[in-house]
Amino acid sequence: MSRQRQSLTLHLLQAREVAMSFFRPSLKDIGLTEQQWRVVRILSQQGELEINRLADLACMLKPSMTGVLARMEIAELVKRRRSEHDQRRVLVKLTATGHSCFENMSGRMEENYERLQERFGAEKLQTLLVLLNDLKSVKR
């Protein structure tokens, strides 16, 4: 009888849950969802992006992204606008409030990374990040 292979996808999801347990309390304290934080972080690093590209980078389905952005726009964290060159394209950028949110959270998130690194090990964390980056580059 053949040995059953371990589930890579299940292990990745379980590892994500452990990792997020270090960050969720900080997000809850300021009233941001994980998805909203991903949007804030990506836009702070990338600048203005087209919604489809933002959804891809944030690992969100496009319909979900629309709802997340609507709530973030109400909270004045992001601003959406139509492209001057192609009215079908919608671009998103952080507002001053969004940038402030990122700056205010960066220190707390760094502390969370440090706590995770203390528990897991700096070398192991770096190796994991390299391996995950390598895995992301694998194409079907």
Contacts of 102 (CB under 8 A, 6+ apart): 40, 41, 44, 94
Whole-number average pLDDT of the chain: 93
Q: Please report, for the domain that includes residue 116, its CATH number.
A: 1.10.10.10
Residue 2: inside a domain: no
Residue 8: inside a domain: no
Q: Please say if the pLDDT value at position 1 is more than 60.
A: no
Q: Is 55 left (phi over 0), alpha (psi -120 to 50) or beta?
A: alpha
Q: Could you tell me if 52 and 61 are in contact, meaning their C-beta atoms sit under 8 angstroms apart? A: no
Residue 11: inside a domain: no
Q: What is the mean pLDDT of residues 57-79?
A: 95
Residue 111: inside a domain: yes
Residue 35 CB neighbours (<10 A):
18
2 pLDDT band, cuts 50/70/90, is low
Residue 9: inside a domain: no
Q: What angle do CA 114, 115, 121 make, to 5 degrees?
A: 75
Domain count, the chain: 1
For 19-37, write each residue's pLDDT tens digit: 999 999 999 999 999 999 9
3 pLDDT band, cuts 50/70/90, is confident
What integer pLDDT is reported at residue 39 of this predicted model?
97
For 90-128, write each residue's pLDDT tens digit: 999 999 999 999 999 999 999 999 999 999 999 999 999
Instruction: Report helix, strand or coil for 49.
Output: strand
For residue 77, what are the domain limits?
17-136
Q: Could you tell me if 92 and 48 are in contact, meaning their C-beta atoms sit under 8 angstroms apart? A: yes
pTM score:
0.87
Cα 113 from chain centroid (whole Å)? 14
